[in-house]
Structure 1
Amino acid sequence: MTGHASRPALADTVWPAVPPGALVLVPVGSTEQHGPHLPLDTDTVVACSVARRVADALPPGPYGRPLVAPPLTYGASGEHADFPGTMSIGHEALHAVVVELARSLSLWAGRVVFVNGHGGNTAALDTALGLLRAEDHDAAWTGCEVPGGDAHAGRTETSVLLHLDPGRVRLDAAVAGDTRPLAVLLPDLMARGVRAVSPTGVLGDPAGASAEEGRRAMASMVSTTVRRITAWTVDDRGRLADPARPPSVSRSQGPNAGHP
């Protein structure tokens, strides 16, 4: 993966070096099909990359530097279940994992932020973080979205992966899928799953994707997440609001504007 992160990963740290009260970022991804050209862990790669770069960009707090926890690599991906390779734990299990992780982290950490790379996780994160905040845990979540991005495995995600890990992108296998807006596709996606709408699993068109476009998209996701954490305005679902955007249009989805 290109780039670097100077902040230590929590998994590489020994316990005496973990600062009590630290801000902890927990990437949340998925293991699901991303068309014939992107790897199954695309959402996890994006969430981890955003979390690492955000930790690098944030200044040390009163309890030391931000830490990036190991990612949650399985999410709620039932809409992709008809594609081999997809592994989903569903909303109920994801909700339980997020709640118990945050309760555990609260024994020594300060704030906890779940950095989400898969839009299908939204419902579980909303209910989990709503419960956690009702229990007075200083926790929240935020999505990795690119305004105007296509829905799934299209130009946006392909560009981001070309920037982050180009050797894992199979451009020779990339094909266009259903390019209609997500709002139009959503009823069918909810009722019948992605395969019924797009046999290739692509919602969008990877054509024109580039590493430079991916670099700009990644920079946008990182700067948005830094703003949200710095402002720390949290709604009743535990979502961090973006102070640069009106709440009515602020969306917490996957690594594009409406990632299913």
Structure 2
Amino acid sequence: MTAYVLADAVWPAVPSGALVLVPVGSTEQHGPHLPLDTDTVVARAVVQRTAETLPESWVAPPITYGASGEHAHFPGTVSIGHEALRAVVVELTRSFSLWAGRVVFVNGHGGNTTTLDTALGQLRAEGHDIAWTACETPGGDAHAGRTETSLMLHLAPDRVRLDAAVAGDTRPLPDLLPDLMTHGVRALSPTGVLGDPAGASAEEGRRTLDAMVSATARRIGAWTVDGRGRLVDPARRSGMVRR
């Protein structure tokens, strides 16, 4: 099935009421071995592949800057913060609503979560038929470890510097979060890695991407939305709404 790319289109080719998928990424450090746009690359790939499974869906240009304040002490990181990101999401949605149908933001950076929850809660209250979902990997490490390294080895192997890969703080994300939110990444890991890239492979990255795409397509197809505007898997319907 063909995925329609909004940036490549001319306006008469864009139908009213289209389903639009918006990748949401970041420009932030990903250790000494992965590029700054890793989150954007992953979100864009998930959106592209998901759109290929959904009829008449459109791939919007990605949001390439996010809320990355926890990475601010690493050169190269560019963060627009929560308020600016919220404004971007709100204004994009209001603009999409002039011609699109449903809009789904597909998020590749965990630091954007609070912003998306707040913005989409407001937008759904305004009556917009939108939702968001994350590029999640159950059991994956937190940042620039084996999970993201495998994904990038699959998606952009020429941009991965494996000879520079090192392990960082390998504690699970729930254990890291209190210190991460208080002190930032650099206090926990001078290299910026939260996890261990050892053992990463393109094949593991392919399987991980396949799982992300399947989950995203399943959530969009079911359109079960929680109070924060998040799409959830069809089996988890308690407290959710359908529209």
Alignment TM-score, normalising by the size of structure 2: 0.96
- Is 1:108 the counterpart of 2:99 in the alignment? yes
SS at match of 2:131: strand
- List runs of 5+ in structure 1 lacking aligned partners: 249-260
* RMSD (CA atoms): 1.3
Q: Which among 160, 169, 174 is matched to residue 169 of structure 1?
A: 160
Report the Cα distance in structure 1 between the residues aligned to 2:195 and 2:236, rounded to whole angstroms. Answer: 25
SS at match of 1:100: helix
* CA displacement at 1:36 relative to structure 2: 0.2
Report the Cα distance in structure 2 between the residues aligned to 1:54 and 1:182, rounded to whole angstroms. Answer: 27
Give the letter for the 2:119 counterpart: A
* CA displacement at 1:6 relative to structure 2: 3.6
SS at match of 1:132: helix
- Contact 2:150–2:202, Cα closer than 8 Å, also in 1: yes
Report the Cα distance in structure 1 between the residues aligned to 2:39 and 2:205, rounded to whole angstroms. Answer: 14
Q: Which among 8, 11, 25 is matched to residue 12 of structure 1?
A: 8
Question: Which digits, 9 at most, give the CA deviation of each residue in 1:165-218, with x for residues without a partner?
Answer: 100000000000000111111111111100000000000000000000000000
Q: Taking every aligned residue pair, what percent have the same amino acid on both sides?
A: 79
Report the Cα distance in structure 1 between the residues aligned to 2:157 and 2:89, rounded to whole angstroms. Answer: 31
- Contact 2:50–2:217, Cα closer than 8 Å, also in 1: yes
Q: Paired residue for 1:53?
A: 49
- Contact 2:218–2:233, Cα closer than 8 Å, also in 1: yes
List aligned pairs for 1:53-202, cutoff 5 A.
Answer: 53-58=49-54, 60=55, 65-202=56-193
Displaced runs of 4 or more, over 3 A: 244-248
- List runs of 5+ in structure 2 lacking aligned partners: none
Report the Cα distance in structure 1 between the residues aligned to 2:172 and 2:238, rounded to whole angstroms. Answer: 21
Question: Which digits, 9 at most, give the CA deviation of each residue in 1:123-168, with x for residues without a partner?
Answer: 0000000000000100000000111000000000000000001000
> RCO higher in 1 or 2 (8 Å CA, sep ≥ 6)?
1
Alignment TM-score, normalising by the size of structure 1: 0.90
Report the Cα distance in structure 1 between the residues aligned to 2:111 and 2:211, rounded to whole angstroms. Answer: 21
Report the Cα distance in structure 2 between the residues aligned to 1:69 and 1:173, rounded to whole angstroms. Answer: 33
Give the letter for the 1:156 counterpart: T
Q: Paired residue for 1:242?
A: 233
- Is 1:205 the counterpart of 2:191 in the alignment? no
Report the Cα distance in structure 1 between the residues aligned to 2:82 and 2:145, rounded to whole angstroms. Answer: 25
- Contact 1:241–1:247, Cα closer than 8 Å, also in 2: no
Give the letter for the 1:230 counterpart: G
